[in-house]
Amino acid sequence: MLVSDFDYHLPEELIAQEPPTERGASRMLIMNRATGSLQDSMFTALPALLRSGDLLVLNDSRVIPARLYARRTLRREREKPTGRIEVMLTEQAGQNRWHALVRPGRKVAIGEILVFANSNGGIELRAEVVERGPFGDRVLQFQPVDDFYAALDRIGHIPLPPYIHRDDAAADRERYQTVYSRELGSVAAPTAGLHFTPQILEALSARGIEVARITLHVGLGTFAPLRVDRVDEVRLHQERYTISVETAGAIYRAVAEGRRVIAVGTTVVRTLEHCAREAGGGSLQPHEGATDIFISPGFKFRLVEALLTNFHLPQSSLLMLVSAFAGREHALKAYEHAVENRYRFFSYGDCMFIA
């Protein structure tokens, strides 16, 4: 199977550049994955679609202001900082250590020191380039500070996806977060969750729908295009996740009682299915880990029985995951319907519920 088998035509004007005026006001395409039948709806109808006893699993990772600007210097004391470098933090790699994309990359060598200043010129962070990563990224070792994330908050920018052709606005600081986000670490939002409001979460609870949370920090793989021709050659970056005691217990009870496990977003699917595969038929245990699981047609799903997801890029690993869950022909037919009916695509766009 080829990566090009997951292509579709998307007019550029359908790529959402702004979120809906009101959170939760998105359209929702409903698919029956057994038949491929489609129904146009609104996201506010989600509580009525679910059954009492369903377990809805959310990703509570929070986006950090990961896009930074630095000045480079070759020697710590003798040379003044010079040459502006754009730095995108992508994944934490240890204590005060981060993988990062840098631009222009050819100018950033191992051993260089990057300094990050605030608007008044005061130095907030310093980092040494200590490694070159396998995907052309760099590994930065930051000097310790009292509160690293507070420093990021002062000097960083929200890393909007490259298909949004504008600088991040002040509103994106919260609008590009889910209302239930709490664990800092992602460089892109788990976008299926952007549609939820406190009122919709309350409506779900009132209908007897249980809610659990995992954490998967979205990393470099969100931005990296697939550079191979064949699906069986695709390799993804690792992303860190956490399954809590409460969530492991909720999933165990749902499975034992025959209740549906519903994933909000592909990040939840990847986390749950990775953990189910690792469990080898046993129950999920609370733990932390990392996953590079790639899900494509032919994959055997062990836990997830329904999926809420946004519309994804052509020839992307996420579209392949949706195709594995819904069937490739059904998925591409749904995308064709969404284009014809002027749905909004990608991070700030509309959504699809597949069951």
167 pLDDT tier (thresholds 50, 70, 90): confident
Between 73 and 189, where is the model more confident?
Answer: 189
* Domain annotation for the chain: domains and CATH numbers: 3-63+172-354 (3.40.1780.10), 67-155 (2.40.10.240)
Q: Where are the alpha helices (DSSP H) in the chain?
A: 46-49, 148-155, 172-175, 198-206, 245-256, 266-279, 317-326, 328-340
Residue 133: its pLDDT value, please? 75
Report the range of poorest mean pLDDT among 50-64, 77-91, 110-124, 285-299: 77-91
Residue 107: its pLDDT value, please? 77
Mean pLDDT in residue range 187-197: 97
136 pLDDT tier (thresholds 50, 70, 90): confident
pLDDT at 236 over 60: yes
Q: Which tokens sit at 268?
A: 């939840």
Residue 175: its pLDDT value, please? 96
pLDDT at 79 over 70: no
Q: Which H or E run includes 354?
A: strand 351-354
Residue 190: its pLDDT value, please? 96
Residue environment code for 250-265, b if the CB has 16+ CB neighbours within 10 A, otherwise e: bbeebbeeebbbbbbb
Between 167 and 211, where is the model more confident?
Answer: 211
pLDDT at 247 over 60: yes
Distance CA 209, CA 345 (A): 28
pLDDT at 277 over 70: yes
Nearest C-alpha neighbor of 57 from the set 263, 270, 315, 265: 263
Residue 94: its pLDDT value, please? 87
Distance CA 335, CA 339 (A): 6
Neighbouring C-beta atoms of residue 73, cutoff 10 Å: 18
The HSE-up count of residue 37 (CA atoms within 13 Å, CB side) is 4
Tell me the percentage of the chain whose pLDDT exceeds 90: 83
63 pLDDT tier (thresholds 50, 70, 90): very high
